[in-house]
Amino acid sequence: MKIETGDFVLFNYTGRYENGEVFDTSYEDVAKENDIFVEEREYGPLGITVGNGEIIPGLEEAMLGMEAGEKKTVVVPPEKGYGMPREDLVVPVPMEQFSSAGLEPVEGMYVMTDSGLAKIASIKGENVMLDFNHPLAGKTVVFDIEIVEVKKKAEEA
């Protein structure tokens, strides 16, 4: 059964930068081998409904036409992945917001805000520049995917 839009798909994946460095995976052993293992995370196949935008477009498109048991390596450019970095997602926050919270901002550090996760891009005078772009924005990434199971969408009666 070939995957079509609307099908529910269980799949495993390993995401790498173009240089081969692994940044994410659904395989526990691969995570341990690449020193990215997270104790609290549950490893195993990811389930999505193809076409619902639950994952990046480049991966969804690559799955179309695949079948259970099939493996594929997909190169995903930024336009089909995490997008290009946007300047409007880098915003200044007064240094006093960090000091009043008892935090010492450090360039490169990630912080959780009311608006989501942000990276401290730089510290300029009395402002801390927070970057809300996805960490993979602007990067071409490579995914090895393996389709575990396909459940066809319910047919219209």
- For position 48, what pLDDT does the model report? 97
pLDDT tens sequence across 8-39: 999 999 999 999 999 999 999 999 999 999 99
Phi/psi at 60 (5° precision): -60, -45
Class of domain 87-131: mainly beta
- For position 155, what pLDDT does the model report? 59
Quick one: pLDDT band at residue 100, thresholds 50, 70, 90?
confident
Reduced to 3 states (helix: H, G, I; strand: E, B; else coil), residue 8 is strand
Question: What are the tokens at 2?
Answer: 């070939």
Instruction: Average the pLDDT over 124-148 and give the result.
Output: 96
Is the pLDDT reported for residue 157 higher than 50?
A: no
Domain ranges of the chain: 8-83+136-151, 87-131
Record: fold of 8-83+136-151? Chitinase A; domain 3 (3.10.50)
Quick one: pLDDT band at residue 99, thresholds 50, 70, 90?
confident
